[in-house]
Amino acid sequence: MYIMYSLKLAVQSIWREKWINLLSVLTIAAGLFMITLTFFSVYNMDLATKKLPEKFSMMLYLNNDLPEQEAANIISTLKKNSAVERARYISKDKALEELKGVLKNADYVLEGINENPLPASIEVKLRQESVSISKVKKLAADIKKIKGIEEVEYGEQFLNSIHSIKAGAQTLGLLMISIMSTGVIFVCYSTVKIMFYRRKEEIETFKLLGATRGFIRAPFVIEGGILGIGGGVVSLIGTAALYYTLFYKLALAMPIFKIIVFPSEVFIALPLVGLTLGISGAIIALGRIRFS
Amino acid sequence: MIHFSNVSKIYENQTALRNITFSVEKGEMAFITGPSGAGKSTLLKIIYLSEKPDEGSVTIAEWELSKLKESSIPFLRRNIGVVFQDFRLLDNRNVFDNVAMALRIRGMTEYDVKERVMEVLKTVNLRHKTDSFPKALSGGEQQRVVIARAIVGEPTVLLADEPTGNLDSDTAAGITRMFKEINAKGTTVLVATHNRELFRNTGRRVIKIDNGAIVGEELG
């Protein structure tokens, strides 16, 4: 029943100390905006690295004297592996033809070569979920054991790079989000602590009149929550402005911005994240209330 | 109702109370008197759990204070109305809100709060001052606001610490009359005062305290 009264006390307190509270809201908003930017960057990087495996393939170079029938047998063996999406045989002649296609006007480099030097090969396309360092390494080792395969090439460095970029971005993002969240909690903590000390005498009177811990804490927790939501809403306005600038203004001049994905859930999440961090800061600030 | 058994309280090598044993019966109105620094306020503070005794035991109604859980303290305090020596009025709240505070902490609805506060303000003759702030009131009016706040929750015990401290004799007499009326309704009243005028010819029990110890008892 005292929630409405606590809400009234919280609003009164915010209004009474409006400048310090406004400053807190803006600081929280800045922190939440930074969190959004970090999340936004990690999210897009994650999406980009998820798309890279689509381009990933393994090349299996066959022994020079391997009959085409043997190659067909190898392909059917490969297709039985759940990690393999498709396998394509590339004959020596086809390989040369493709090389010429790639070289185009520079095909003079092949002049003077009488015999086709390229080996026959099998191009293996893996299922996206199987494109991970450990899985690919194991698959390559298994394939290499198949009779008739001379060499397996799969761009180990490329895979390692993707993995490192992804892991690095996630770790850095998580670190940034943790630091910023701690900062936001600290701002709420400090603000509520100041309010608490300013009303210390009043709180002592409340205690002597028989107020419970819940009654004493409630206005401050609500105040922390309101500051958090306020910060969330202000950062949402900032984020919306950024969204508008990126997608409607900059994208016209630089189409690259069109490929950036902006999850709309962020707009709902920001005030909620603010609320959670604000309440957390307030609860930490209030600590244990003693009656004697 | 209130029972002290061999209670002692020591503040940094200074004994505030020594071996205090006394009882106040349910519905009784009693006075504790003694010079300043005798230990009157400390004794009251122990009753409303603002201080803990170092020795001895205190029982209020069925509650043995040393065995009381901290989370139960607010609920005991709601049964004890206190007229504080320093008033403890909130300067940024008007008379109505200062009195209503004692009910709001109990989670009472605003409708009930308003009805009860107005009733009590009428009792203490302050209905016309509901919107005034404490600083705009005289000492006697402030004292009556504090009394209103102490009795609005219909406590079983009313404690008053030097309730007429800075008041003139007429106002002091009015305050004493008010305590008698509250007591007549069944509330146990314990008044700590150094002002002998307050209990003279009241026919009430007066417990004399000096240097932290009970030194006598008489009828006022």
How large a percentage of chain A has pLDDT more than 70?
97
Do residues A104 and A200 share a domain?
A: no
Do residues A77 and A102 share a domain?
A: yes
Q: What is the pLDDT of residues A181-220, one digit of tens each?
A: 999 999 999 999 999 998 898 999 999 999 999 999 999 9
- A17–chain B Cβ distance below 8 A for any pair: no
- A211–chain B Cβ distance below 8 A for any pair: yes
Give mean pLDDT, residues A234-247: 87
Instruction: Flag whether A219 is in a domain.
Output: yes
Q: What is the pLDDT of residues B110-153, one digit of tens each?
A: 999 999 999 999 988 899 999 999 999 998 899 899 999 999 99
| Integer Cα distance of A95 and A101 in angstroms | 10
In terms of CA atoms, which chain B residue is nearest residue A204? B88
Quickly state the pLDDT bin for B73 (edges 50, 70, 90).
very high
Instruction: Flag whether A158 is in a domain.
Output: no
Is A206 close to B70, i.e. CB distance below 8 A? no
The dihedral sign for the CA sequence A174, A175, A179, A185: positive
What is the longest distance spanned by two Cα atoms in chain B?
Answer: 50
Residue B21: per-residue pLDDT: 93
Among residues A153, A175, A198, the one where a domain terminates is A153
Residue A292: per-residue pLDDT: 63
Is B77 close to A210, i.e. CB distance below 8 A? yes
Do residues A169 and A282 share a domain?
A: yes
Do residues A84 and A217 share a domain?
A: no
Instruction: Flag whether A292 is in a domain.
Output: no
In terms of CA atoms, which chain A residue is nearest residue B150? A209
Is B102 close to A209, i.e. CB distance below 8 A? yes
In terms of CA atoms, which chain B residue is nearest residue A5? B104
In terms of CA atoms, which chain A residue is nearest residue B81? A209
Distance from CA of B161 to the nearest CA of A (A): 14
Residue A270 β-bridge partners: none
- B104–chain A Cβ distance below 8 A for any pair: yes
Q: In sequence order, what DSSP letters do the residues of chain A get, joined into one string?
A: -THHHHHHHHHHHHHHTHHHHHHHHHHHHHHHHHHHHHHHHHHHHHHHHHHGGGG-EEEEEEPTT--HHHHHHHHHHHHTSTTEEEEEEE-HHHHHHHHHHHHGGGGGGGTT--S--PPPEEEEEEPGGG-SHHHHHHHHHHHHTSTTEEEEE--HHHHHHHHHHHHHHHHHHHHHHHHHHHHHHHHHHHHHHHHHHHTHHHHHHHHHHT--HHHHHHHHHHHHHHHHHHHHHHHHHHHHHHHHIIIIIIHHH-GGGGG----THHHHHHHHHHHHHHHHHHHHHH-PPP--
Do residues A142 and A215 share a domain?
A: no
- A288–chain B Cβ distance below 8 A for any pair: no
Do residues A232 and A131 share a domain?
A: no
Is A210 close to B49, i.e. CB distance below 8 A? no
The phi and psi torsions of B83 (rounded to 5 degrees) equal: -100, 100
Is A208 close to B108, i.e. CB distance below 8 A? no
Among residues A124, A153, A182, the one where a domain terminates is A153
Chain B neighbors of A211, CB-CB under 8 A: 74, 105
Q: How far is CA B51 from the centre of its chain?
A: 15
**B51, B75, B84 member nearest A210 (Cβ):** B75
* Average pLDDT for chain B: 90
Do residues A272 and A204 share a domain?
A: yes
Domain hosting A209: range is: 3-51+165-286
**B51, B78, B109 member nearest A210 (Cβ):** B78
Quickly state the pLDDT bin for B42 (edges 50, 70, 90).
very high
Residue A98: per-residue pLDDT: 83
- A1–chain B Cβ distance below 8 A for any pair: yes
- A215–chain B Cβ distance below 8 A for any pair: yes
Residue B53: per-residue pLDDT: 92
- B102–chain A Cβ distance below 8 A for any pair: yes
Instruction: Flag whether A118 is in a domain.
Output: yes
| Integer Cα distance of A254 and A249 in angstroms | 9
Whether A189 and A285 have beta carbons less than 8 Å apart is answered as yes
pLDDT greater than 70 at residue A240: yes
Residue B145: per-residue pLDDT: 94
**ipTM for the complex shown:** 0.90
Chain A neighbors of B153, CB-CB under 8 A: 210
Q: Indicate which CATH number applies to the domain containing A138.
A: 3.30.70.3040
Query: Number of folded domains in chain A?
Result: 2
Instruction: Flag whether A12 is in a domain.
Output: yes
In terms of CA atoms, which chain B residue is nearest residue A2? B107
Is A211 close to B107, i.e. CB distance below 8 A? no
Instruction: Flag whether A44 is in a domain.
Output: yes
pLDDT greater than 70 at residue A85: yes
Is B49 close to A292, i.e. CB distance below 8 A? yes
- B90–chain A Cβ distance below 8 A for any pair: yes
Residue A211: per-residue pLDDT: 93
Do residues A178 and A271 share a domain?
A: yes
Q: Which residue has the higher pLDDT, A280 or A80?
A: A280
Quickly state the pLDDT bin for A155 (edges 50, 70, 90).
confident
Q: What is the pLDDT of residues A51-77, one digit of tens each?
A: 766 777 888 999 888 888 888 888 888
In terms of CA atoms, which chain B residue is nearest residue A207? B74
- B66–chain A Cβ distance below 8 A for any pair: no
Instruction: Flag whether A291 is in a domain.
Output: no
Instruction: Flag whether A159 is in a domain.
Output: no
Quickly state the pLDDT bin for A1 (edges 50, 70, 90).
low
